[in-house]
Amino acid sequence: MRKISIGIMGSYTIDEIHENNMTYEKAGGSPIYSSLGVYIAGGEPHVYSIKGEDFKFELPDYIKEDFIINIKNNLRFEIIINNGKRTLKLKSPGSKIDFNKVSLGNIDGLIINPVCNEIDLDQINVLNIPLAVDFQGIVRKCETDKEITYKEINYIPYKPNYMVAHANIEEKNNGKLDIKKLLDAGFKEIIISYGDLGFEIYNKNRILKETIENRGNYEVGNGDFLLGFYFTLRVKGVKIEEAARLSKLASQKFSIYGPNIQPLLS
């Protein structure tokens, strides 16, 4: 039986991480963390992204790169983690993804997950598959050598095949993302995450709440992982209640083990 194939569109990042008096670089961005969520949920991740000549990291075998824009300098962040709080600064900007030039493969769903405004939702014109959107890179205001701030989102183009939206509570509040407006734009389910407290899933009829009971210290990519995992289950036909429950369990393990979660779930 063919695995569910899920596309992930967004930039790779080089993350300069400062934590516990240590500094190191690692690969990041939605292609890394949403792909991991897709993979752990039993799907096959297909990446549509941007990569700089300075991106020298080896990628996991399960990531399939269907479309890559090659540029000179990769999008780069400085991430300072201190006492569970994260400060994010843009060090080097990336490039736009022109959706009209992207050739999508045979995928069953697509996650639109920009990092810093590199994707225009107005360009997304594929209607035959369900879509998920992470609003983190849409509400962000990205300026080189400055800490990431937020901008208010006044317009979201309607699409009938929107399935899942995701934002954390900071992005929702600072971007003025209204649940009703997201539902009116076509989204069937909206995930709002609250860090180590858990997340809520809204639809037109109710709110599901999932409380995190056992959380680790892995602080980068949690929302991307959650969206990739949950969306894959929903595309596979898993009911919303069960998808929410399993997503909580997977999110807890990701926060503890990070990328080493692979052998822990089947």
CB distance 24 to 3 below 8 Å: no
The verdict on residue 76 lying in a domain is: yes
| pLDDT tens by residue, 7-29 | 999 999 998 988 878 888 989 89
Task: Report the DSSP pairing between strands 189-193 and 162-168.
Answer: parallel
- Percent of the chain at pLDDT > 90 equals 67
Confidence class of residue 266 from pLDDT cuts 50, 70 and 90? very low
Query: Is the per-residue pLDDT at 46 higher than 50?
Result: yes
- CATH number, domain of 117, equals 3.40.1190.20
**For residue 84, what pLDDT is reported?**
64
Residue with tokens 């003025």: 176
CB < 8 Å & 24+ apart, contacts of 23-28 = 26/57, 27/55, 27/57, 27/59, 28/77, 28/220, 28/221
Within 8 A by CB and 6+ apart from 11, the residues are 29, 30, 31, 49, 50, 75, 94, 97, 114, 115, 116, 118, 137
The verdict on residue 265 lying in a domain is: no
The verdict on residue 107 lying in a domain is: yes
| pLDDT tens by residue, 74-126 | 999 998 877 767 788 999 888 999 998 898 889 999 999 999 999 999 999 88
**For residue 231, what pLDDT is reported?**
98
Count of residues in the chain: 266
The verdict on residue 234 lying in a domain is: yes
The verdict on residue 266 lying in a domain is: no
Confidence class of residue 1 from pLDDT cuts 50, 70 and 90? low
| pLDDT tens by residue, 153-164 | 989 999 999 999
Task: Report the DSSP pairing between strands 12-19 and 76-82.
Answer: parallel
Confidence class of residue 195 from pLDDT cuts 50, 70 and 90? confident
d(CA 47, CA 111): 10
For the chain, the domain total comes to: 1
Query: Is the per-residue pLDDT at 185 higher than 80?
Result: yes
Greater pLDDT, 14 or 266: 14
Within 8 A by CB and 6+ apart from 71, the residues are 50, 51, 52, 53, 94, 95
Query: Is the per-residue pLDDT at 67 higher than 70?
Result: yes
**For residue 197, what pLDDT is reported?**
86
| pLDDT tens by residue, 115-140 | 999 999 999 988 899 999 999 999 99
Query: Is the per-residue pLDDT at 152 higher than 80?
Result: yes
**For residue 263, what pLDDT is reported?**
47
The verdict on residue 146 lying in a domain is: yes
- The reported pTM is 0.92
Q: Which of 38, 53, 48 is nearest to 6 (CA)?
A: 38
The verdict on residue 82 lying in a domain is: yes
195: tokens are 């860090």
Task: State the average pLDDT over residues 245-250.
Answer: 92
The CA–CA distances, whole Å, from 85 to 138, 264, 266 equal: 21, 27, 31
| Distance separating the N- and C-terminal Cα atoms of the chain | 16
DSSP string for 40-99: HTT-EEEEEEEEETT--PPPPTT-EEEEEEEESS--EEEEEEETTEEEEEEEE------G
Query: Is the per-residue pLDDT at 220 higher than 80?
Result: no
> Up-side HSE of residue 134: CA atoms within 13 Å toward CB?
32
Query: Is the per-residue pLDDT at 216 higher than 70?
Result: no
Residue 74's domain comprises: 5-260
The verdict on residue 242 lying in a domain is: yes
